[in-house]
Amino acid sequence: MEGEQVIKLTDLPVRTDRTDILRMMELREDSPVYEEVLEEYEDMKEELEAMCTPAVLIRFGTIPDSGERAAFVLSTVGGKLGEYSTRQFQSGDCLKGMIADSAADSMLFHLEEPMMEALKQECALRGVGISRRMEAPVDMPMERQKLIFEKTHAMEELGMGLSSGYMFRPVKSQGILFLLTEDPKVFHAQHDCSKCPRLDCPLRQEPSVHMKVREKETIREIAIKQGQSVLEALTQADRYFEAVCGGNGHCGKCGVRLLEGNLAVTPEDREVFSSEELAAGWRLSCRAYPDGDLTIELSQERADMYEAVIQFEGEAPMRPESGAEMCEAGETSCGGRMKASALGYGIAVDIGTTTIAMQLIDRKSGSAAASGSRINRQRRYGADVISRIQASCDGRSGELQQSIREDLRAGMEDLLEKAGISWESVGSAAIAGNTTMIHLLMGYDCSGLGVYPFTPVNTDLIESDLHDLVSDGLPRVPAAVLPGISAYVGGDIVSGIVCCGMDQSEKISVLVDLGTNGEMALGNREHILSASTAAGPAFEGGNIQWGTGSVPGAVSRVTISGGDVSVETIAGAAPNGICGTGVVETVSELVRNEIVDETGLLDEEYFEAGFPLAKTEDGRQIVFTQQDVREIQLAKAAVRAGLETLLLRFGIAAEDVDTLYIAGGFGFQLDVQKASMIGMLPPALAAKAKAAGNTSLGGAVRYLTDPMACGRMERLARATEELNLSGDADFNRIYMEQMMFAEE
């Protein structure tokens, strides 16, 4: 496309639209000056139109920094109208000045029609389509106007100028950048008022829209405001809805099905849905901006299907009664919490990024009186800690804090109701969570968590009460927020180490929590090393096209033999996605069957559309794509390299490790042989793996029942050494080596 000439159109129709001008000037029919202004306009109309010297410049080419193909378009009504308007204002006739200014805008607006016609023809000649329209400063930075200015030779062709702020001179001009696509049928070139932030623009064309939302048997109606996406409207209507990437159009999790009405197919929709799915009405709600009334159906995946893992392994707890005795005798580190008089019930909480798990502990017997789990509704601000940190820094810290406080309050009240006890019997609470979750709960500034050198506001043990920590409506039950080590090795790991008893055993063990940041700790009572590694959300089903959480219907077991694929889903429900263990199994089977080669390349046959695993109830094909394989390569290499580096620094071999504790629900489901087969775990460690369950919750329970636990946690928070893997040469070397799938 280089060597393209500038296409210059000057013989263009000039049109002013009375309605535009009335709207721009906010002239209402009931205005006392309505007649007068209208008369003035009619008098001026001809003169104004004669002053217009319309021109459109179009040039096809490429954007230098990205290499994307684009059409650069600049249209102008010339400079005379603006000069005339300014003169009128200066001479005191503000009315004429304003009419001239509005007329110029209207004329520029109507240049859109011949410009679009010409653009369509030129695209057809070149066999290309238009995937996106971009205007500064809404869709692209103002600097881009310089590129348009230069590409269209606006100075040479029309004698135009550019200000140091990248505005065109004359000012009644407009620059547009159209991104091209190979597909000549696509023509997304219209200006879309709904995406423009100028809500007060008098020319905004956007009727208010009613949306019917069908969900199973119920139908409710939601109004969508100007500039709102379907997702935003749903969230605002208090309908919790999955938005793993925070509504940025790339996770593909917020799909809804359009039943009636119209929702334009966006480029993001095309990336996520197949043409059959698009035809069936599937759209990403975060990218859907309806232009008329519509009916949608919410996708099958439901928030309340997430179940947090409650059970956990660990050392045998100390009998609480003896703890009480020790406490009375002043032999504990618990600050009096364990006094026999203060026994009663305790509430243990693990705030996970996805789910919140809780247990009501009868502290006399040390057993659980009730358990519960619920989704962490902060998920609507994004699935991983990074997007939450982002949201918090974007001024939503208050909303995020409110969200988790509300979840905790509701969860605790559920527990009490289940157990049939009242708040009077609750004597204490302990909350564990990763550092970000704790920051969000405390309302701390998260900006230090997102950027190097990753500085948390506070990771110390916080001793407060539920009234202050959770809700004004709760009594002042003493509550502790468990201490963490750093921005990425948080209180959940400290809690996990105590739960597994790693810090008391002579034997060396390893604890791994495979979340977005694969956190790990290795050591014994002498010394513990910890690290976190950016594994990404792949093991939680994130960034995987069909990825999903551990919900009913998630593919969790996969066997491929010959041409046959068989899958098992959680709870045996109809397939609706692939959860973390399913992802590991799929890759392992693809590698074993040589459908993926050792470099991670998917067989040619499946390269484009992905490898088909199963079909959903409504006939959509669940596939595993090349991109998904790449995500797993990155994730598994990060985990493996993290573990190997810890072993190296500790100075032991994998064979010398006594137990590998795999925390989280993932551990129960994971086939460690398959995990080792794809290279995620060193084979010698895989042999010693033990699913440890929710060790974070386990540690919180321990805090409530074991008078020594508090002291252990504080010591761990102080003394645990953290390795910085990102700057570690060995880590980086092993990471690169482990990216491949080795032949075993």
The residue whose two tokens read 């969860």 is: 411
- Angle, helices 80-90/94-126, rounded to nearest 10 degrees: 170
Question: In this structure, what are the phi and psi dihedrals at residue 545, rounded to the nearest 5 degrees?
Answer: -50, -45
Question: What are 663's two structure tokens?
Answer: 């925390």
Q: Which is nearer to other proteins, 80 or 169 (CB)?
A: 169
Would you count residue 704 as binding other proteins (CB under 8 A)?
no
Q: In whole angstroms, how close is the CB of 167 to other proteins at the nearest point? A: 5
The residue whose two tokens read 């190979």 is: 182
DSSP 439-488: HHHHT---HHHHSTT---S--S-EEEEHHHHT-TTS---EEEEPP-SSSS
Residues 577, 289: Cα–Cα separation, whole Å: 26
Alpha-carbon distances of 292 from 193, 207, 624, rounded to whole Å: 13, 7, 35
Q: Which is nearer to other proteins, 14 or 25 (CB)?
A: 25
Candidates 167, 264, 303, 534; binder of other proteins (CB under 8 A) is 167
Question: What are 610's two structure tokens?
Answer: 């992905």
Torsion region of 12: left, alpha or beta (phi above 0 gives left; psi -120 to 50 gives alpha): beta
Candidates 6, 14, 63, 95; binder of other proteins (CB under 8 A) is 95
User: 456 and 442 in contact (C-beta within 8 Å)?
Assistant: no
Would you count residue 196 as binding other proteins (CB under 8 A)?
no
Q: Which is nearer to other proteins, 166 or 381 (CB)?
A: 166
Burial of 146 (0-12, 13-18, 19+ CB in 10 A): middle
Would you count residue 223 as binding other proteins (CB under 8 A)?
no
**Positions 120 through 149 that interact with other proteins (CB under 8 A):** 137, 141-143
Q: In whole angstroms, how close is the CB of 33 to other proteins at the nearest point? A: 5
Candidates 7, 37, 118, 461; binder of other proteins (CB under 8 A) is 37
Would you count residue 42 as binding other proteins (CB under 8 A)?
no
Q: Which is nearer to other proteins, 83 or 598 (CB)?
A: 83
The residue whose two tokens read 């919900």 is: 551
Q: In whole angstroms, how close is the CB of 41 to other proteins at the nearest point? A: 10
Q: In whole angstroms, how close is the CB of 78 to other proteins at the nearest point? A: 14
Q: Which is nearer to other proteins, 93 or 328 (CB)?
A: 93
Burial of 59 (0-12, 13-18, 19+ CB in 10 A): buried
Would you count residue 447 as binding other proteins (CB under 8 A)?
no
Q: Which is nearer to other proteins, 41 or 703 (CB)?
A: 41
Candidates 54, 78, 97, 247; binder of other proteins (CB under 8 A) is 97
Would you count residue 365 as binding other proteins (CB under 8 A)?
no
Candidates 81, 98, 186, 245; binder of other proteins (CB under 8 A) is 98
Q: Which is nearer to other proteins, 7 or 393 (CB)?
A: 393
Residues 211, 208: Cα–Cα separation, whole Å: 10
Q: Which is nearer to other proteins, 159 or 292 (CB)?
A: 159
Q: In whole angstroms, how close is the CB of 118 to other proteins at the nearest point? A: 26
Candidates 60, 84, 168, 666; binder of other proteins (CB under 8 A) is 168
Question: In this structure, what are the phi and psi dihedrals at residue 223, rounded to the nearest 5 degrees?
Answer: -90, 135
Q: In whole angstroms, how close is the CB of 97 to other proteins at the nearest point? A: 6
Helix ranges, 200-312 (H): 230-236, 267-272, 275-279
Burial of 185 (0-12, 13-18, 19+ CB in 10 A): exposed
Q: In whole angstroms, how close is the CB of 29 to other proteins at the nearest point? A: 12
Q: In whole angstroms, how close is the CB of 25 to other proteins at the nearest point? A: 5
User: 478 and 508 in contact (C-beta within 8 Å)?
Assistant: no
SS3 content of the chain, % helix, strand, coil (to 5): 40, 25, 40
Q: In whole angstroms, how close is the CB of 10 to other proteins at the nearest point? A: 22
Candidates 3, 67, 127, 165; binder of other proteins (CB under 8 A) is 165
Residues 131, 121: Cα–Cα separation, whole Å: 16
Q: In whole angstroms, how close is the CB of 143 to other proteins at the nearest point? A: 8
Stretch that binds other proteins, among 84-92, 286-294, 532-540, 667-675 (CB under 8 A): 84-92
Q: Which is nearer to other proteins, 173 or 354 (CB)?
A: 173
Q: In whole angstroms, how close is the CB of 289 to other proteins at the nearest point? A: 23
Stretch that binds other proteins, among 96-104, 527-535, 552-560, 668-676 (CB under 8 A): 96-104
Indicate if the alpha-carbon torsion angle 667, 673, 678, 684 is positive or negative: positive
Query: What is the three-class DSSP state of 532?
Result: strand
Residues 318, 323: Cα–Cα separation, whole Å: 7
Would you count residue 83 as binding other proteins (CB under 8 A)?
no
Candidates 33, 155, 219, 571; binder of other proteins (CB under 8 A) is 33
Question: In this structure, what are the phi and psi dihedrals at residue 358, rounded to the nearest 5 degrees?
Answer: -140, 150
Would you count residue 203 as binding other proteins (CB under 8 A)?
no
Residues 292, 287: Cα–Cα separation, whole Å: 15
Q: Comparing C-alpha atoms, which of 521, 686, 662, 518 is closest to residue 588?
A: 686
Strands 161-162 and 69-76: unpaired
Beta-carbon contacts of 186 under 8 Å, excluding residues fewer than 6 positions away, are 129, 130, 131
Would you count residue 155 as binding other proteins (CB under 8 A)?
no
Would you count residue 442 as binding other proteins (CB under 8 A)?
no
# chain residues binding other proteins, by CB under 8 A: 34
Would you count residue 572 as binding other proteins (CB under 8 A)?
no
Candidates 10, 13, 36, 394; binder of other proteins (CB under 8 A) is 36
Q: Which is nearer to other proteins, 137 or 398 (CB)?
A: 137
Would you count residue 32 as binding other proteins (CB under 8 A)?
yes
Residues 465, 473: Cα–Cα separation, whole Å: 12
Q: Which amino acid is at 501?
A: G
Candidates 50, 94, 223, 609; binder of other proteins (CB under 8 A) is 94
129: enclosing H helix or E strand: strand 129-134
Alpha-carbon distances of 735 from 403, 535, 725, 727, rounded to whole Å: 37, 11, 10, 12
Question: What are 102's two structure tokens?
Answer: 């509005």
Q: In whole angstroms, how close is the CB of 96 to other proteins at the nearest point? A: 8
Would you count residue 45 as binding other proteins (CB under 8 A)?
no
Stretch that binds other proteins, among 32-40, 354-362, 639-647, 685-693 (CB under 8 A): 32-40
Residues 495, 530: Cα–Cα separation, whole Å: 13
Residues 610, 632: Cα–Cα separation, whole Å: 15
Q: Which is nearer to other proteins, 47 or 143 (CB)?
A: 143
Residues 593, 565: Cα–Cα separation, whole Å: 11
Stretch that binds other proteins, among 91-99, 362-370, 574-582, 584-592 (CB under 8 A): 91-99
Q: Which is nearer to other proteins, 195 or 302 (CB)?
A: 195
Would you count residue 393 as binding other proteins (CB under 8 A)?
no
**Positions 1 through 30 that interact with other proteins (CB under 8 A):** 25-28
Q: In whole angstroms, how close is the CB of 74 to other proteins at the nearest point? A: 15
Residues at the contact surface with other proteins, assessed by CB under 8 A: 25-28, 31-34, 36-37, 82, 85-86, 89-90, 92-95, 97-98, 101, 137, 141-143, 163-169, 171
